[in-house]
Amino acid sequence: MIIQTIVFYVLAVMTVGSGLAVISSRNPVHSVLFLILAFFNSAGLFVLMDAEFVAMILVIVYVGAVAVLFLFVVMMLDVDFAKLRAGFIQYLPIGAVVGAILLAELILVFASGSIDISKPAKMAMPMPDPAQVQNTEALGNILYTNYAYLFQIAGLVLLVAMIGAIVLTHRARVGVKRQRIADQVARRPKDAVRLTDVKPGEGASWKSD
Amino acid sequence: MAETGVWHDYLLPLLLTIGYVLAIAVPMMLAVGALSYVERKVWAAMQLRRGPNVVGPFGVLQFLADGLKMVLKETIIPAGANRALFIMAPIITFSLGLVGWAVIPFDKHLVLADLNVGILYLFAISSLGVYGIIIAGWASNSKYAFLGSLRSAAQMVSYEVSIGFVIVTVLLCVGSLNLNDIVEAQKGLWFFIPLFPMFVIYFISALAETNRTPFDLPEAEGELVAGYQVEYSGISWGLFMLGEYANIILLSGLCTILFLGGWLPPFRVEPFTYVPGVVWFLLKTAVVIFAFTWTRATLPRYRYDQLMRLGWKVFLPASLAWLVLTAAALHLFGWLPEKVAGG
């Protein structure tokens, strides 16, 4: 048990520390890398809670895909560091107010007692014995039976967002040569090759026929 | 009454675990060395050359000579490079190639960590591989390296999607995310027969994930010099190479587990069942690795737009369609694994 406690504090401190480093790093690429470190440590925290499925999904989706694309974009951005830092003081009050509101709300929610961590029996579903059911199975059972419609709707929302992003950024450029595999496959020798007797002094031309 | 105390509770398990880790990692390093030799011999045979034949009998000690050369060479860090990240990148690549082996079952229950979500763990590890390359490209502060790493990031993210669908399809037929269960489920029939199209998609996507020919655009020595590796030298370059080979062996091992029945013998009759499962596992993995080598000796490199077209317009719809088809077939014919059907 003591090992778990030590590991928890190490992971928690690392998470919070890298979270702070995300906003305090001067180099945006370093910020993203610290963000990735924060994701990793939170995945570790999930593992400590025996939620190994959520931990793996966090690593696969956030670290393996989202953060890669994030890093991809940040690396290519031409960021003016001096300008960014100049704005920091200006936006600090707004950020502090938003942060304070969120913190106050969290404190209110937890203090009101509507979330009682010590009593899982309050949940909508009767809890199966954790030793019998893996959390992957338990999650799947709840998600695809009790909340199937909500799950589908969430999928649709994401689909709409994806199509929206494509529509907004897609532009059909004219004058670009593209490889059309179907055209290449459909091409036959008789369309492309012709045998001709070239008479002296006349030359050959495809369009003469 | 069991013994208690710090030694029995903490130190002994720790030492045992370190022992197990070494028992996997050291043979792995040797396998990587051997692979670098075997691969060159195979290419040589396919191209009617002789390959390495000077160091040791038949040149088998070539990998030791190469390793020594890499260690002794000076590691040059470019003046404009981001030092910490520049050094970190090859270490990430190399260690990711090794940590995946923690969950690979070599035989029934012969595995370091028997995770419930073993397959997801492997998927996560393989999706992290892109970081070594993208960090190397950025930290080198060089155009070629950066272009190589950008290509690599796009490529690996694209092909991960189809690998994900392949894994989901296999999971549908198994009903568990545990690698042991996946192998056990193939007792009747190895999955590469009913799921043959997925097997092909997995193999090609694995080529793309490991940046191997015909998908080695991140290196593309003809246009990008050596892509993300261009500024690396000595052992830091060596770690990239070792990591790449370790990753090839890892994905071949995963291919064996997903499609070729892991440690199971090909026929469950007398002479085949005498051979221990480890041997079957290693043999099958070797066959897959040979296929990796074979493609590299045979195929030219893809163009970038062709690569993206193959990933998004061919593999993604094909694997999605096969996934739906598999799910429908399992449901209609009542072939769903019992555990899932019951719950």
Which sign, positive or negative, has the C-alpha torsion B225, B230, B234, B239?
Answer: negative
A167 falls within a domain: yes
Residues A12 and A69 in one domain: yes
A49 falls within a domain: yes
Phi and psi at B110, nearest 5°, equal -95, 80
Whole-number Cα distances in Å, A5 to A139, A169, B14, B208: 26, 48, 17, 41
A187 falls within a domain: yes
Which residues of chain A make contact with B146, given a CB cutoff of 8 A? 75
A177 falls within a domain: yes
3-state DSSP percent of chain A in helix, strand and coil, to 5:
70, 0, 30
User: With an 8 Å Cβ cutoff, is A167 touching chain B?
Assistant: no
A168 falls within a domain: yes
Kindly report the nearest CA distance between residue A44 and chain B, in angstroms. Answer: 13
A58 falls within a domain: yes
A67 falls within a domain: yes
Range of the domain at A38: 7-78
A39 falls within a domain: yes
Q: What's the full length of chain A, in residues?
A: 209
ipTM over 0.85: no
Cis-peptide into B197, omega within 30 deg: no
Report yes or no: B245 and B35 within 8 Å, Cβ to Cβ: yes
Q: Tell me the per-residue pLDDT of A41-64, one tens digit each, with 9 for 90 and over.
A: 999 998 888 888 888 889 888 888
Instruction: pLDDT tens for chain B, 343 residues: list them.
Output: 455 666 777 788 888 888 888 888 888 888 888 888 888 889 899 888 888 888 878 888 888 888 888 888 888 888 877 888 888 888 998 888 888 888 888 888 778 888 788 888 888 888 888 888 888 888 888 888 888 888 888 888 888 888 999 999 998 888 888 888 888 888 888 888 888 899 999 999 998 888 887 888 777 666 777 777 878 888 888 888 888 888 899 999 999 998 888 888 887 777 777 778 888 888 899 999 999 999 988 888 888 888 888 888 899 999 999 999 999 988 888 877 765 443 3
Torsional class of B54: left (φ above 0), alpha (ψ -120 to 50), beta (otherwise) = alpha
Instruction: pLDDT tens for chain A, 209 residues: list them.
Output: 688 888 899 999 999 999 998 888 878 888 888 999 999 899 999 888 888 888 888 988 888 888 888 888 888 876 666 666 667 777 888 889 999 999 999 888 888 766 665 555 445 555 555 556 677 777 888 888 888 899 999 999 999 999 999 999 888 888 888 788 888 889 888 888 878 888 888 777 766 44
pTM of the model: 0.82
Domain boundary among A38, A58, A78: A78
- What is residue A198's predicted lDDT score, i.e. its pLDDT? 83
What CATH number is associated with residue A40?
A: 1.20.120.1200
Which residues of chain A make contact with B150, given a CB cutoff of 8 A? 72, 75-76
Q: Tell me the per-residue pLDDT of B165-190, one tens digit each, with 9 for 90 and over.
A: 999 999 888 888 888 888 888 888 88
Number of domain units in chain A: 2
Which residues of chain A make contact with B156, given a CB cutoff of 8 A? 68
User: With an 8 Å Cβ cutoff, is A64 touching chain B?
Assistant: yes
- What is residue B287's predicted lDDT score, i.e. its pLDDT? 92
- What is residue A156's predicted lDDT score, i.e. its pLDDT? 95
Which residue has tokens 């052992």?
B235
Domain boundary among A50, A78, A106: A78
Comparing alpha-carbon positions, the chain A residue that sits nearest to B175 is: A137
Phi and psi at A25, nearest 5°, equal -65, 145
Domain boundary among A58, A78, A98: A78
Euclidean distance between CA atoms A182 and A176, whole angstroms:
17
Facing residue for B343 by CB, picked from A59, A76, A141: A141
Facing residue for A56 by CB, picked from B121, B156, B157: B121
* Chain A interface mutation, best of B127, B155, B174, highest count of A Cβ atoms under 10 Å: B127
Share of chain B above pLDDT 70, in %: 95
